[in-house]
Chains A and B, each alone.
Chain A
Amino acid sequence: MTTEATSRPALPAPAPAVNPETKEYWDATAQGRLLLKRCLDCGSVIWYPRAFCPDCASLRTEWFEASGRGRIYSYTVNHRGEGAYREAAPFVLAYVELDEGPRIMTNIAEADEADLAVGLPVEVVFHDTGEGTALPRFRPAATRDGPAS
């Protein structure tokens, strides 16, 4: 987990819609912390965050803080952004597989296109939306072994 404060993004950072089920997650992003949900009955890590376990149909879940580390599962350099991203292209959309297991949709920041690879170790950074939340994005990890699948 990176400990630095949220930073100004080079990418647009559109604010997510927050509801009571997800407020704790988004509040934590503003503090530079990545939370995940875990099922109290079967132990599954839940993604996307919800107050329900899709693996065992339990309503008993808890938040825990994730490591903020993972590896790129897949990525694309998108040359045609839409909406808030219309002027942002090219930018990198990716799935990162967190060390805790879930594959989450995100962007890769602070990376040269040539350095990207499936399996590349990455770490979370938070980009302020200006509305009390921050988007968890990932950058190549500072210290870690090279790509693996």
Chain B
Amino acid sequence: MSIRGKAHIAGAYEHPDRKIPDKSVPQVHAEVALGALADAGLTMGDVDAYFCSGDAPGFGPLSMADYLGLNRLRYMDSTETGGSSYLVHVGHAAAAIAEGKCRVALITLAGLPRSQRPQRASAAQLAPEAAFEQPFGPTTVSMYALAARRHMHEYGTTSAQLAAIKVAASQHAQYNPNAMLPNPVTVDEVLDSPMISDPLHRLDCCVISDGGGALVVVAPEVARDLTRQTVKVLGHGESPKLAANGHIDLTYTGAVWSGPRAFEEAGVTQADIDYASIYDSFTITVLQTIEDLGFCEKGKGGAFVADGSLLAPYGRLPFNTDGGGLCNNHPVNRGGMTKVIEAVRQLRGEANAPVQVPDCEIALAHGNGGSLGTRSGAATLVLGREDA
């Protein structure tokens, strides 16, 4: 069975704040839920499916469903693949809707990493691999630095090429009034920023922000009755990429599997993609992902990004027009939700005007959660304008 065209994203909402010292995490979940439902023209009473991930406080989907008063649920999913969870949720929601299990699915993300002390990752410490990794002091940045170093070794990728990704994101962010880092930067400014974990500089890293976002995915018959323009879910693919019994390869991501699945289901190719939201926890994440999705030959991502391909609106692959995680927002260290939201904006023609891709008909959103340095979960969505 294919989900192509059998579900629509009817509502999308990004929390406008980047620092929220005076609210609780459930409260922000509630705010983004209401925002996305209002965007769709629906209410909490219409929701019959709820999706959340590890950022949702409490017991799986139950605590937040209770908080939100979602007492008509007949479908729940709390798949946790880190930052890509919300793209997985869209795919799962579309499949459930296509099967007739539910009609209106709400997906929420929220958290306050800038305003609250980070919570100890107890689940991660209980993992079977923990004793063989954690004692050596891996940090998030250093894990991606290991991937960057190996990619450089095998393909000759340079720090200046990685910096070009940040430069493009910053060019886009200048038009986003909510962006945390709205000022354009140069390659030299990236290279001159402090080295965090060699070869990744501070400006190779995404921001840390409070906030969140939500999506509403609905059945076609629900979409027909809404006044707001919706976006079709055309294809979805997901895959873990594992450490593989000691044979980890740091040069590629799970996009090598999730991408082809999404393209096939959608019935499109890379050439059909007008706009792409690419997960950008770090510049190296973007580089490896665009190679793995087939937008350029493996190992040639450096040359691809260095010649302006990512710049909206006229580059070969306009990307992350909100400024992405590198410049705009990376709520709760999970960038997948905002990737979908910006793709919806592009397909509705509602991106910030200077970076709106003309006649944007087909968009791709990709998330990568976990760590490129160990285990990660990839998810790819192909989305289409309502008339696509």
Knowing A48-B128, A55-B245, A80-B196, say if A12 contacts B146 (CB, 8 Å).
no
Residue of B nearest to A107 (CB): B136
Knowing A17-B125, A48-B129, A80-B141, say if A118 contacts B149 (CB, 8 Å).
yes
Is the beta-carbon distance between B142 and A93 smaller than 8 angstroms? yes
Is the beta-carbon distance between B137 and A74 smaller than 8 angstroms? no
Q: How far does the Cβ of B156 sit from chain A's closest Cβ, in whole Å?
A: 12
The interface on chain B, measured as residues whose beta carbon lies within 8 A of the other chain's beta carbons, has a size of 36
* A14-B150 Cα distance, complex, nearest whole Å: 27
* A48-B379 Cα distance, complex, nearest whole Å: 26
Q: Which of B137, B195, B243 contacts A83 (CB 8 A)?
A: B137
* A140-B306 Cα distance, complex, nearest whole Å: 35
The residues of B that contact A79 with a CB separation of less than 8 Å are 194-198
Is the beta-carbon distance between B250 and A74 smaller than 8 angstroms? yes
B63 within 8 A of A: no
Is the beta-carbon distance between B245 and A54 smaller than 8 angstroms? yes
B49 within 8 A of A: no
The residues of B that contact A76 with a CB separation of less than 8 Å are 142, 145-146, 149, 197-200
Is the beta-carbon distance between B135 and A13 smaller than 8 angstroms? yes
Main secondary structure of the interface of B (DSSP, over half): mixed
Is the beta-carbon distance between A74 and B132 smaller than 8 angstroms? no
Q: How far does the Cβ of B41 sit from chain A's closest Cβ, in whole Å?
A: 45
Interface size class on chain A is: 35 or more
Knowing A74-B146, A80-B141, A102-B246, say if A16 contacts B196 (CB, 8 Å).
no
B138 within 8 A of A: yes
B74 within 8 A of A: no
Is the beta-carbon distance between A105 and B136 smaller than 8 angstroms? yes
Is the beta-carbon distance between A47 and B136 smaller than 8 angstroms? no
* A125-B106 Cα distance, complex, nearest whole Å: 52
Is the beta-carbon distance between B135 and A93 smaller than 8 angstroms? no
Knowing A46-B245, A49-B132, A54-B245, say if A105 contacts B138 (CB, 8 Å).
yes
Knowing A14-B135, A74-B147, A76-B197, say if A149 contacts B246 (CB, 8 Å).
no
Given contacts A76-B149, A93-B138, 14 further A-B contacts (CB under 8 A): A16-B132, A48-B128, A48-B246, A74-B153, A76-B142, A76-B198, A78-B142, A78-B145, A78-B196, A80-B142, A102-B245, A102-B246, A103-B248, A118-B150
Q: Enumerate 11 A-B pairs (CB-CB under 8 Å) in ascending A order.
A: A48-B131, A49-B132, A76-B142, A76-B145, A76-B197, A79-B194, A93-B137, A93-B138, A105-B132, A105-B133, A105-B374
